Amino acid sequence: MSDQSPTTQTMAGRTVLVTGASDGIGAETARTLAARGATVHVTGRSAEKLRPVAEAVGTEPLIADFAKLDDVRRLAEQVSERVETLDVLLNNAGGTFKPTKRTHDGHEPNFQINHLAPFLLTNLLRPQLAKAGSSLVVNTSSIGNLMGKIVLEDLDYEHRRAIEFPAYGTGKLMNIVFTRGIAQRWSGDGVVSVAVHPGPVGSSFGRDSWLVGLLYRSPLKRFGTISVPDGAAPLIVLAERGPDPEVNGRYFSRFKVDGRENRQAHDPAVIDGLWERSAALVGLS
């Protein structure tokens, strides 16, 4: 674990929830923020992989599979029982998934796991974020947002074919659009939201995709990816920066604000439409 001397306690007194914390940049971010003084809660779908991370940060693991919306609802209840306020929510869970394998709830998996589940969780934790007085939501997105396309009338690919990489890119585009929605709706609660592309991280990303998994298991991985600590660094920097209104609703490409975005990312009709349709799908409207 990182140095925990007083000079490094940049997160002292802050409470953080990291999703997708079983391994990769989620686990690295959780450990580092805990080492810097934060009270860190971690969630992931693998109890076996999450347990040592939870032990390292000093909290009990929270097991939830984002392919099951009832797991997300239960997770929100467990978090609300543990904490009265939440200073930082790091929505990091996600990946690329085979579109034909529908989720437990019947949704296209790239849509549900990358967007709909974190949308539901964040909304359910809004009271804890608001009670903090000033809080931050970080949505892990990707440069893949550039190949996405949000079709409001067919979010679940019921009337068109879902292709894995574009479907993943659409989920990552939704992360940015959701970030803008939070910025527009919750600023009065003191909630600031940002999206971030952490870079092409050499972790277990794509483990549910045969094609992506093939690349990440091959020697090509070392040429096209960055290390897990390097990938976690932008999330850590943003968490330490905290709820800065100056960056509310903005997208970072690693450490650079205003990275390359799909044209839909600033479309008011898309921002409002995605929020309203997502809320209806998860029973929030």
Pairing of strands 15-18, 39-44: parallel
Of residues 123, 100, 92, 101, the one with CA closest to residue 191? 123
* CATH fold label, 6-281: Rossmann fold (3.40.50)
Neighbours of 268 (CB within 10 A): 9
Domain ranges of the chain: 6-281
From first to last of the 285 residues of the chain, give the pLDDT tens digit: 444 444 589 999 999 999 999 999 999 999 999 999 999 999 999 999 999 999 999 999 999 999 999 999 999 999 999 999 999 999 999 999 999 999 999 999 999 999 999 999 999 999 999 999 999 999 999 999 999 999 999 999 999 999 999 999 999 999 999 999 999 999 999 999 999 999 987 655 444 444 445 444 444 444 457 899 999 999 999 999 999 999 999 999 999 999 999 999 999 999 999 999 999 999 997
Catalytic residue selected from 157, 168, 216, 251: 168
Nearest to 150 by CA among 233, 236, 274: 274
Q: Is 251 a catalytic residue?
A: no
